[in-house]
Amino acid sequence: MRIARFAGDDDPRFGVIGDDNGVPTIAVLNGDPLYAGLHLSGQKIPLEDVRLLAPVIPRSKVVCVGKNYAKHAAEMGGEVPDEPLIFLKPNTSVIGPNEPIFYPEQSTNVHFEGELAVVIGRICKDVSVEDAPKVIFGYTVANDVTARDLQAKDGQWARAKGFDTFCPLGPWIETDFDPSDVRVTTELGGELKQDGRTSDMVFTVPDVIAYVSSFMTLLPGDVILTGTPDGVGPMEVGDSVSVTVEGLGTLTNQVVSRND
C-alpha cells in the first residue's frame, strides 16, 4: 500500500494511492495513519490534481547510518565501522518531492547521497533483530544531502547534514516492501551517478533498528536513513537530482541558491 501526504486546496492530508478506472487517484484518509490508523474518508481525488509532500514529518528525529556500504566507506577514505555509525538530522531538514534544496552560502561542496529510508510505526525500545519488522510502518526514498567541506571542517556532522532542506523524502511510503535486495540509484541531470543494491549494506535494516533502539527510544514517524552506496558527488545550483529505490519510486529535487 502506498500512503502519501499531499496538499490540494486546503491543509495537508494523507491518502492511499491507487487506480480508479485507469485514472491514478488518491483515496483520502481521515487523520494521520501513523496515529489514527487507516480509515478511508470516502473521497477520491485525481493524483494529478494534488501536490505530493514529504510523506512524513518526523515528530522527533531522523536517524542516519554512515558508511553502511563498504565501497562508500572506501571512497570516503575510511574503513567499515565495527558497529553502525549513527548521526542525526533535525526534522526541520525534511522536504518533499520537487521542493528545492537550498545551497547554503556557508558551503562550496554540497553532495547528494541517495538512500533507502525506513519509517517507524510505533514506540519501541530494545527491539530484537527478529522483531524489527514489527515496528516498521513502511519505506520511502531519501537524499542525505551533505555539505562535505563543512563535514571535514567541523569534525562532526550536525551542521553539514542539518541545514534546512537537506533531507528530501518521498514520494510516498510503501507499507508492503522487502528491503533486502533492491537497487538504489541517483541521477544528476539525467546522468547516473550512484548504482548500488541494499544487499550490499554492511548492517541490514533489522540490524540498524536493533542497534539504534538499544540506546534510543524510537517514536512513530521517526525516520531511519540506511546509508548510501558509492558514487556520491557534488551538486550545483540549477541541478536536478533524482534518487530511485527499486519498487518504491523516484524522488526528484532541484538545487537552488539560498540567496535567490
pLDDT at 112: 98
Three-class DSSP labels, the chain: CEEEEEECCCCCEEEEEEEECCEEEEEEECCCHHHHCCCEEEEEEEHHHCEECCCCCCCCCEEEEECCEHHHHHHCCCCCCCCCEEEEECHHHEECCCCCEEECCCCCCEEECEEEEEEECCCECCCCCCCHHHHEEEEEEEECCEEHHHHHHHCCCHHHHHCCCCEEEEEEEECCCCCCCCEEEEEECCEEEEEEEHHHECCCHHHHHHHHHCCCCECCCCEEECCCCCCCEEECCCCEEEEEECCCEEEEEEEEECCC
- Give exposure, 151-173, as e/b (b: 16+ Cβ within 10 Å): beeeeebebbbbbebbbbbbbbb
Residue 209: strand pairing partners = none
Task: Judge if pTM exceeds 0.85.
Answer: yes
pLDDT at 247: 97
pLDDT at 260: 66
Separation of alpha carbons 125 and 107, rounded Å: 37
pLDDT at 9: 77
Binned average pLDDT, 10 residues per bin, the chain of 260 residues: 92 94 94 94 95 95 95 85 96 98 97 98 98 98 98 95 98 97 98 97 98 98 97 98 98 91
